[in-house]
Amino acid sequence: MVALRPCDLTVQRGEFVTIVGPSGAGKSTFLNIIGLLDRPTSGTYLLDGIDTAAVKDAERTALRGMRVGFVFQSFHLLSHRTARENVELAMIYRRTGRSVRRQVAEQTLRRVGLGHRLDALPTRLSGGERQRVAIARALAGRPSLLLCDEPTGNLDSQTAASVLNLLDTLHRDGLTVVVITHDPEVARRGRRTIVIRDGQVLV
């Protein structure tokens, strides 16, 4: 069975692209490939001009850590760690010094509008605030590509709008943003929408 059929797709640096399609269409496979979580069985995937099929597993892991940020529907925050500590954790494997981790975490949380919640535990944050912490964690490594999988799926409409406004701001700042969604309202936020149906990427 083919999860995702061959396609020719280019996402330009600084684009805001949304990906839509029914459940089981191949969206998760697409995300896993462009996020360097899975290897395609054939074809070529270039990330920032690097042929990802040609690098070894350790290099792929490093490449993913340096260039890709992930935001998911579930926030995946550690409940016993503060907002700042959750963001700092994203930098530990980069061998970033403790003082630098703290500084970057604070700067990134301020960037997403949470400078006043640095020491709050996730249990004390609203859903929208927790998603902003998750976005800050994804941004802490200064990625060139931000991948979001249903980032507003657990949020009410007003809170979802605030998160989407944040993604708009990050895009305007030059970040490449790719959002997978079932929500037509979210899909409309993209400057380009790609449909995946029955494993076929329809550009």
What CATH topology corresponds to 16-82+142-202? Rossmann fold (3.40.50)
Closest by Cα among 37, 40, 45, 10 to 147: 37
Query: What's the pLDDT tens digit per position in 76-85?
Result: 999 999 999 9
Task: Say how far apart CA 164 and CA 105 lie, in whole Å.
Answer: 21
- Residue 52 burial (CB count, 10 A): 19
Portion of the chain with pLDDT greater than 70, in percent: 99
Report the relative pairing of strands 145-149 and 176-180 from DSSP bridges: parallel
Query: What's the pLDDT tens digit per position in 16-45?
Result: 999 999 988 899 899 999 999 999 888 899
Angle between helices 83-92 and 98-111 (to 10 degrees): 120
Task: Tokens 């500084």: give the residue.
Answer: 103
Bridge partners of residue 69, in order along the sequence:
146
Confidence of residue 150 (pLDDT cuts 50, 70, 90): very high
Query: What's the pLDDT tens digit per position in 117-132?
Result: 999 999 999 999 999 9
Bridge partners of residue 196, in order along the sequence:
201
Query: What's the pLDDT tens digit per position in 53-64?
Result: 889 999 998 899
Q: In this model, does residue 11 exceed pLDDT 90?
A: yes
pLDDT reported for residue 7? 86
Indicate the domain borders of the chain. 16-82+142-202
Q: In what order do the strands lie in the sheet with 176-180?
A: 68-72, 145-149, 176-180, 16-20, 192-197, 200-202
pLDDT reported for residue 90? 86
